């Protein structure tokens, strides 16, 4: 039986590594890497790239701290266990749409009896992070839509009111997720809404103080993501005004948040989006691809490779045997 579970882990590792190889061997990726290596790595802006790398472990340390807080009503986790669970989730999530596999990665590295709690905690953490992406994107959407698509509002005051209402509504929904789910289920009685309502009902266990902490850490992680994007643009030597940088980056993250595609394949979609956004700001296509590929490699692939090792060393047999019983 142990050989069977080891075989499953080897298959998963092989699939992920194969997908990684195909992404890295893509012509655009090759071109991007070669450009960075031959031109920018020996340039004076290498300091920006180093800071971008340093922010990556800080980012995932914050996520592990958030995971400790999310699981605190159920179990006290050590920092080491939280980091392992988070990285395993990254590894399992990169090959699934909307990173759904993250639930599985976090579950198999947690105690089997905590499965419902892990699902609730992962769901809340994801909602909080996506909320930050969406809120920041909405706040700066006027500038992004104006610069990219020529969309303008006749009165800035109207835009301010609309955005304020949207932001306020989403924050209220975040602090009342179970009630919102029950309300939707009462209006639209389908299997999907009932399933969503059942999942969100477990979030009643979280008080406002804990929700504050989770949202604050998610916001801090978002700031790090934006800063990393700024740093890699600076590393590539682009002379783009700071305000244009910020609203384009927040716009890109907003679009990426609503694209439910696997992280492994999203580098392609992100590359196309980056070309659309940055070329209009005077950034060449190859540099836009380099920035996209660099952030994808730093923030997802390096942590995912560590997570793959963690999954391989995890005894998943106990978890599945627990389910079978």
Q: What is the pLDDT of residues 21-47, one digit of tens each?
A: 665 555 555 555 566 656 666 667 889
Neighbours of 125 (CB within 10 A): 23
Secondary-structure percent of the chain, ordered helix, strand, coil, rounded to 5: 85, 0, 15
Q: Which of 288, 283, 241, 245 is nearest to 268 (CA)?
A: 288
**pTM of the predicted structure, to 2 decimals:** 0.83
Q: How far apart are CA 208 and CA 26, in angstroms?
A: 46
The pLDDT of residue 12 is 64
Q: Which of 218, 225, 217, 216 is nearest to 55 (CA)?
A: 225
The pLDDT of residue 187 is 67
Q: Are 19 and 318 in contact (CB under 8 A)?
A: no
The pLDDT of residue 78 is 94
Give the three-state DSSP class for 109. Answer: coil
The pLDDT of residue 13 is 67
The pLDDT of residue 273 is 75
Q: How far apart are CA 184 and CA 166, in angstroms?
A: 18
Give the three-state DSSP class for 207. Answer: coil
In this prediction, the residues of the chain whose per-residue pLDDT falls under 50 are 322-325
The pLDDT of residue 89 is 92
């Amino acid at each position: 039986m142990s050989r069977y579970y080891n075989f499953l882990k080897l298959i998963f590792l092989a699939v992920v590594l194969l997908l990684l190889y195909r992404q890295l061997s893509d012509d655009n990726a090759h071109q991007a890497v070669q450009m960075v290596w031959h031109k920018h790595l020996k340039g004076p802006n290498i300091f920006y790239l180093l800071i971008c790398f340093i922010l990556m472990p800080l980012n995932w340390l914050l996520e592990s701290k958030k995971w400790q807080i999310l699981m605190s009503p159920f179990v006290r986790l050590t920092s080491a266990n939280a980091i392992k669970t988070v990285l395993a989730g990254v590894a399992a999530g990169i090959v699934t749409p909307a990173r759904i596999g993250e639930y599985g990665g976090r579950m198999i590295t947690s105690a089997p009896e905590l499965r419902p709690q892990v699902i609730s905690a992962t769901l809340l953490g994801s909602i909080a992070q996506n909320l930050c992406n969406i809120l920041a994107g909405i706040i700066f959407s006027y500038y992004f839509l104006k610069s990219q698509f020529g969309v303008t509002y006749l009165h800035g005051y109207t835009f301010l009111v609309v955005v304020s209402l949207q932001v306020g509504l989403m924050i209220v929904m975040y602090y009342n997720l179970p009630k919102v789910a029950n309300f939707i289920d009462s209006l639209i009685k389908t299997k999907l809404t009932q399933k969503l309502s059942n999942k969100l009902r477990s979030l009643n266990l979280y008080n406002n103080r804990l929700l504050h902490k989770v949202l604050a850490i998610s916001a801090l992680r978002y700031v790090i993501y934006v800063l990393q994007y700024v740093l890699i643009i600076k590393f590539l030597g682009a002379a783009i005004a700071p305000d244009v940088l910020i609203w384009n980056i927040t716009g890109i993250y907003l679009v990426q948040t609503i694209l439910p595609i696997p992280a492994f394949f999203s580098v392609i979609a992100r590359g196309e989006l980056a070309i659309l956004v940055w070329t209009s700001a005077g950034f060449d296509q190859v540099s836009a691809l380099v920035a996209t590929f660099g952030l994808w490699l730093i923030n997802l692939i390096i942590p995912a490779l560590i997570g793959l090792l963690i999954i391989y060393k995890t005894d998943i047999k106990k978890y599945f045997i627990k389910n079978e019983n």
